[in-house]
Structure 1
Amino acid sequence: MSQSQNRLPLKKISFGKVDARYEVNTRDPADIQHFRSSFLEPAGIAVDEFKKGNQFFVHGVKGAGKTAFLRYLQLLAEEEGSFTRFTSFATEISDNERDKIYNLSGIETFEQGEIEEKRTAVDVWLIFIFRILAKLIEENRSVFTSHKNITTFCSLIRKFYDGHEGKKLLNWLTETLKTGKYKVKSKHLEADLKGSSGEEDKELPVSYIIEQAFRLLKELGWEGRKGIYIFFDELNISFSSKVTHKRDIVIIRDLIIAIDRINSFFIEEHKPIYVLAAVRSEVLNALNAPTHEVNKILTGRGQELRWFAKTAGSNWPIARLFEKKVRASEKIEKSKESADVFDAYFRRDVFGLSPQSFLIEATWCNPRDVVHLFGHAVKYATPHDMYFDGTVISRVLPEYSSSSWQEKAEELSVEYAMQEIQALKKGLMNFRRHFKVRHFETNFRMRAETDATMKMMLTKFDLNKIMEDLFRIGVLGQSSKEPDEKGNSFAQHWVYRGDNTFDPMAWLIVHKALWPELRLGRMG
């Protein structure tokens, strides 16, 4: 290759961490430098729209880079002199706490029905966000303009969690949520009340207290800081069971509504306070809440992270991201930047595919899968490995394929029990790389003769529905004509490329990255 003298050994290339949290939460400044240098705005996303507060929500599939996007915004905000606070829904709000919010909000779900709409957890989340803001104000009193209404606001919100700091998150709302009312002293609602009038206890609806909090916040001001950014990351739905899945749909739905309401208030008040959140795509798919118009909020005030292009070619966003990762490593290593990364670090093809096509097809156009596959490739590269060729990639394909299947199995667990997912895997193992539903059914029925779970599934599930579920999560793609063994995904239909329409009469194709795990041979 013409650029061979400029290449780094593969061992010197970094693709970052699979979880972007650990790229920013680090003691190593080189990690942060690499993260900054390798960040790429995804297709259709404008960072400035989020910085200015015109957009509140970023959504995408698992591994699409939502955490990285929020962490990048956080770095920019802090560098410009803004306050930031970060809350991870997935790691900081436990299953027990989610149950508490869900149960005490009085919301019911039914196994075969829809989510009941009469009660919500919106007020819980509004108070939770007020709490973040009140603590920020109290911890930085010298920055915030002194005003009696803001002192009253902090006092009012503090009453909800006094004595509960250090305990489980959100426990301070338990009594409030049981009754829908809360007893406060008049002075916590009206800044001008003094003496015995201020000490009078009033039991009021939580909704009234929230309206008072909004009224008090109209006087919020500060000096020396550009703005306030509050981030909610990993609004992810639990896959552990149908019950927890439905629970998380409800409480995430209501957090989205609360964030929209608070942002709308600060927009009207012309205050540079922004509450931003990252939401998994399956939240949008799972929500069934027309009265709350959550999808309208997410589409009107949100942007989808996409790394695919509509047409074949090398100029795919995911390919540009790969180049940014490599060039960031070259910069850190003080090596000359490669003019053409794919020319410099790949041989002519990988398993019969061009480097760009291999990258796209092997990773579902997903940044996390890029980091996983190529991060492991460099980890297990020898000091003499200079190219991402078949030998280097083959070392990590079995582990990559296995972990990819586990990710897909997690998504299936909402609809299928673990033994049923194992039965589906058996039906795919040692079968065919491409087939039609009728072929799969014949094979499945034959294997069911000696497998009780598979036999049960034939009576419990419609095989067309099973195939559609596998298509939806990316295990399968589709083609209108029979694919050949060397066929690439550009002549096929895949959800990761934005094609969500399932045709039960079309050919089905097993994703190449899963071939090793399903014993369908190597990717080439």
Structure 2
Amino acid sequence: MKTLPSNNLKLKNMTFGSLDANNEYRNDKFFFQKSFLTPKNFYEDDFLSGKKNFILGPKGSGKTALLNYYKELIESKGNLCKNIFYKQDINDDIKDQFLMELDKIDLNSMDGDDISSLNFENLWQLYFHQKIIEENPTFINHDQNWKKYVREVKKIDEQHTFILENIKNITGFGVGVNNNKISNETTLSFARQQQKMKFNNLAYQIKQLFLKLRVNPNSKQKLFFLTDELELNRIHEKKFRRDSAMIRDLVIAINELNQLSNIIGRPFIWIAAIRTEVVNSIYSTGKEINKILSDNGETLNWELNGGNSSKSPIIEMLLKKILASEELTATSNKINENNYSNVDNNTLEKILNRYFTHKVNNQDTVDYIIRQTFLLPRDIVRLFNLIKDKYPEKDFFSQLMFEGVRSQYSQNTWTEISEELSAIYNPDELTGVKNILQMASQSPFSVDSFHELAEKSRDPSIKKLLQSEVKLDEVLSNLYSVNVIGNLKNSRIRFAYRGQPDFSFNDLCIVHDSIRKTLS
């Protein structure tokens, strides 16, 4: 039952965050810092000390937000911090040359296995050595060893390392002078082999000089490199393989750089955010990154393992946003020094009772909210910003409001999932897949009934899908992997995002609550 309505904040004065965590961080760093919820399985000292180096998680799980949170902590302790972003939509004029040139490589002359065998390790290491001298850290003694190191690193530009042709030489791209395919390194021209040896030797010499650097004993300062937004091109299969190889070798390069840094006193620390799907889909021919990530990484987990659903981490995150919004408004746009990372459960419970109806469609409200999500912070941001935009003058979350945005929320969620599926299906095929789901979505369905609905349909898009090379069993497996559907058996529901990655063809299928409306 609603209490103290006159004291409730109107939704237009609430801040729920942004789908782009960098925008949220830039818009109000202080609010971001105070309202941030640290995942319970993450210990900041592990990352700030260099013990852990990789933040793993699916899209929307909060990797970028966590990096921004760590950036604030790093700088608050007097350390230096350099962000390295690489995203498909960053304009070329603000990309680094190395990253720009990688996008220009023509992959059409290479087959998939050749692309996966490319080696980007030395390129990444040379790239990061350049970043070190650009920052010119004063906590490193600027003695003869530093000067030799700087001179050698400057050769990276002097020898035009990051122009397209040399990137091909270093990584082993099999493109000859006449653009003919070269299957392996043994058939490379002598000149190309010599170029590759020259750059490999440069990387080796820089590594040896790096190990001779000495930290100023009077300084406790460190330089952190935070790497983020390395995303796979999922539309183009060959670019997908190239990007997979790049990220695979980034993991290897960062691991080695951190090991080298440890030898000289750990003055430099590299931390990278890596999408789980990248790790799971990686083409790592002859290389093993799983052990590196297992030993030196942590996976974001927002699932509540038993207990009261109101204590779910994503619900706690939501309530902390409301609490911080109240504080911001009550103090004339000035949050006090409260650190909300350890808000007691009683305070959050009071926020829940004051602002939320107890039931939505005969379900506990918290359970309803959780079932609209894939247990990701991004889902909460999407849902509650829609409610805020539609009902800005309201000060209480009612069933009517949740129902009022359900169609739009469902459509937005489907649109994001469609982007993932577009790596597998063309637009016509995706339309056919969606139309079969529309016929099957309102109740649990079996694999056989899915086939039967498709085969009996007169829908042109479905007929076209069946005439293509697409196999319906693979469709179901793919839909399960992106959480469109789950399995239902003896009243127990399984979804990939709950850590159950394998689709069962023997059990019933059920469409996820978040997208059922757009399929109705």
Q: TM-score range by the shorter chain?
A: 0.7 to 0.9
Match of 2:192 in 1: none
Are the aligned partners of 2:236 and 2:423 in contact in 1 as well (CA < 8 Å)? Answer: yes
Distance 1:102 1:379, change over 3 A: closer
Aligned to 1:17, what secondary structure does the other structure show? Answer: coil
1:296 and 1:101 map into 2 onto residues whose CA distance is: 27
Q: Which residue of 2 aligns with 1:133?
A: 132
Aligned to 2:213: 219
- CA distance 1:287–1:439, change in 2 (3 Å): same
Measured in 2, the distance between the counterparts of 1:177 and 1:105 equals: 12
Q: CA RMSD in A?
A: 2.9
User: 2:230 corresponds to which residue?
Assistant: 235
Distance, in Å, in 2 between the alignment partners of 1:407 and 1:265 is: 40
For residue 273 of structure 2, the aligned residue among 261, 278, 285 is: 278
Measure, in 1, the Cα distance between the counterparts of 2:375 and 2:228. 21
- How far does the alpha carbon of each residue in 1:179-232 deviate from its partner, in whole angstroms, 9 at most, with x for none? 449xxxxxxxxxxxxxxxxxxxx9953222222212222314356562111011
Give me the whole-angstrom Cα distance separating, in 2, the residues matched to 1:154 and 1:92. 29
What are the ranges of 5 or more consecutive residues in structure 1 without an aligned counterpart?
A: 165-170, 182-201, 484-490, 520-524
Please state if 1:395 is matched with 2:395. no
Structure 2 match to 1:478: 487
Alignment-derived partner of residue 421 in structure 2: 412
* Structure 1 position 269, deviation (Å): 2.1
Deviation string for 1:251-285 (max 9, x for gaps)? 11111111111011112222231111101111111
Is the Cα–Cα contact under 8 Å of residues 478 and 492 in structure 1 kept in the other structure?
yes
* 2:500 is aligned with 1:499: yes
Instruction: Please tell me whether the aligned partners of residues 471 and 495 of structure 1 are also in contact (alpha carbons under 8 angstroms).
Output: yes
Question: Equivalent residue for 2:166?
Answer: 176
1:386 Cα deviation (Å)? 1.9
Partner AA of 2:351 in structure 1: V
SS of 1:172 mapped into structure 2: coil
In structure 2, relative to structure 1, the CA distance for the partners of 1:454 and 1:52 (3 Å cut) is farther
Relative to structure 1, is the Cα distance of residues 458 and 175 closer, same or farther in structure 2, using a 3 angstrom cutoff? closer
Q: Is the 8 A contact 2:316 2:348 kept in 1?
A: no
C-alpha change, 1:180 and 1:465, in structure 2 (3 Å) is closer
Q: Which residue of 2 aligns with 1:287?
A: 282
1:323 match: 319
Identity %: 25
**Structure 1 380/213 Cα, relative in aligned 2: closer, same or farther at 3 Å?**
same
Contact 1:242-1:415 within 8 A present in 2 as well: no
Q: CA 1:220/1:133 → structure 2, altered by over 3 Å: closer, same or farther? A: farther
> CA shift at 1:320, angstroms?
1.5
Matched to 1:155, the amino acid is R
Aligned to 1:518: 519
Q: 1:494 to 1:286 in 2, by over 3 A?
A: same
1:192 maps to what in 2?
none
**Residue correspondence of structure 1 range 213-362 to structure 2 within 5 A:** 213-217=206-210, 218-222=212-216, 224=219, 226-289=221-284, 291-311=286-306, 313-314=308-309, 315-334=311-330, 339-362=349-372
Aligned equivalents of 1:115, 1:312: Cα separation in 2 = 47
Q: 1:114 to 1:340 in 2, by over 3 A?
A: farther
Superposed, 1:139-178 pairs within 5 Å as 144-162=140-158, 172-178=162-168
Could you say if the C-alpha distance between residues 104 and 426 of structure 1 is closer, same or farther in structure 2, counting changes exceeding 3 Å?
closer
Q: Is the 8 A contact 1:474 1:511 kept in 2?
A: yes
The offset of 1:348, in angstroms, is 1.2
Equivalent in the alignment of 1:48: 45
Gaps of 5+ in 2: 172-194, 337-346
Task: State the SS of the aligned residue for 1:62.
Answer: coil
Preserved CA contact (<8 Å) 1:39 1:321: yes
1:439 equivalent to 2:433? Answer: no
Match of 1:33 in 2: 30
- The verdict on how the C-alpha distance between 1:107 and 1:53 changes in structure 2, with shifts beyond 3 A counting, is farther
Q: How many residues align?
A: 474
* Closer, same or farther: CA 342–293 of 1 in aligned 2, 3 Å: same
1:159 deviation in Å? 2.6
CA-CA distance at 1:330 after TM superposition: 1.8
Alpha-carbon distance in structure 2 between the residues aligned to 1:92 and 1:99? 10
Q: 11-20 vs 212-221, which deviates more? A: 212-221
